[in-house]
Amino acid sequence: MIDWTTISLRELAGFLSEELRKKGIDTVLVGGACVTIYSENRYQSFDLDFVTYEDMKKIKKALHELGFTEKDRYFHREGCQWLVEFVSPPVAVGNESIQVFNTIATSLGTIKLLRPVDSVKDRLASFYHWNDKQGLEQAINICLEQDIDIGEVERWSIEESQEEKFSIFKKLLDKRLQ
């Protein structure tokens, strides 16, 4: 029996991923929930963003069967503090389509999600394109907890024509790692 009032974001992601998979719905966790997981809660998201190619009618039916109701694009379950949203495909960071994912096992199921390096890129994309300082901080927080290939982030940043902002990110990261 799940205690919806105390379920963690990670466990809810595992539960939903598993239950939807059983119903033939493949999902990928993206966005702030990945940051929460990879930053070891340095950043706390309050919603779970999933990407799927399935029809929303099928998703709504599956979530309804799990006790979730929809309001303003978000799904909510009574007593649960987390909101669930399904964002439009494809899974991409900036102009780069993502084809390789990470999996994390939880006690309630396995989550398919962005790899840590792609989660860093995802957060940097918001800094690069919308000057979102929170995205910059989230990218750094992931790097402080995960082994990130900074060369891969630099390659992607160059492809996004964001060398100058990558330099800002790198300097701030190096300062935090000292």
Domain limits, the chain: 9-115, 117-177
- pLDDT class of 42 with cuts at 50, 70, 90: confident
Tell me the three-class secondary structure of the chain, residue by residue.
Answer: CCCCCCCCHHHHHHHHHHHHHHCCCCCEEECHHHHHHHCCCCCCCCEEEEECCCCHHHHHHHHHHCCEEEECCEEEECCCCCEEEEECCCCEECCEECCCCEEEEECCEEEEECCHHHHHHHHHHHHHHHCCHHHHHHHHHHHHHCCCCHHHHHHHHHHCCCHHHHHHHHHHHHHHHC
What b-and-e string marks burial along 60-83, b requiring 16 or more CB atoms within 10 Å of the CB?
A: eebbeeeebeeeeeebbbeebebb
pLDDT at 8 over 90: yes
The structure tokens listed for 10 are 């990670």
Tens of pLDDT, residue by residue over 166-178, are: 999 999 999 999 9
The structure tokens listed for 116 are 């840590």
Rounded to two decimals, what is the model's pTM? 0.96
pLDDT of residue 67: 97
CATH of domain 9-115: 3.30.460.40
The structure tokens listed for 111 are 């989550």
- pLDDT class of 1 with cuts at 50, 70, 90: confident
103 phi/psi in degrees, rounded to 5: -130, 145
Residue pair 92/98 in contact (Cβ under 8 Å)? The answer is yes
